Each structure stands twice: as structure tokens, then as C-alpha cells.
Amino acid sequence: MVKPLTFITMVVATMPLLGTGCVVKREHEIHTTTTRSPVVSHDIVVQRPPMPDPRVEIRTTPPSSEFRWVEGHWEWNGADWEWSAGYWTP
């Protein structure tokens, strides 16, 4: 039978060995995002150009009578205007 003091001594003596194989290395990634907004210089705001006129689109035949047409439109992408074409949707 192991004496209580000897058992406690063995446990305390082996505790440093229990953590030797566990190393946790945390790596941090840096994520950056940029947004484009009007450029401000000496209290002068440079604004985006006006939206172009709508484009004329030719509607194709709808896939079924349950579909409706969504008109195309201009979208600002942060640097310029981009046309988003019209489409049929149920």
C-alpha cells in the first residue's frame, strides 16, 4: 500500500510532465477592408458623377405567365456606375 504522503509527492512530481506535450500557438490574421467614399481635401468634397440615363433593354418572352420583369438599373460600385441588367423572376 502506498503511503498518502508518498502518493502526493509522486503526483506533484509528475505534474510538470503532464503539460510538456501541449503547446498552443495562436496565430492572428489581420483582415482589412476598405470602403470608397467621397474624397475630402481641404473641405472640398469630390462627389461621384451623375447616374447615366437608363439603358433600353429588350424583354424576351417570359418563361411562363407567372414571371414578372425586373427593370435593369444603374448601381454605384464605389468607383463607377455599373449597369445591372433586367431579368424575369417568378
- Whole-angstrom distance, CA of residue 57 vs CA of residue 89: 16
In this prediction the pTM is: 0.46
Over its length of 90 residues, how does the chain's per-residue pLDDT go in tens digits?
556 666 666 655 665 555 555 555 555 556 555 666 666 656 677 688 999 999 999 999 999 999 999 999 999 998 899 999 999 999
The CA-atom distances, in angstroms, between 87 and each of 57, 62, 63 are 10, 9, 11
Q: Which sequence spans correspond to the domains of the chain?
A: 51-90
- Whole-angstrom distance, CA of residue 57 vs CA of residue 73: 10
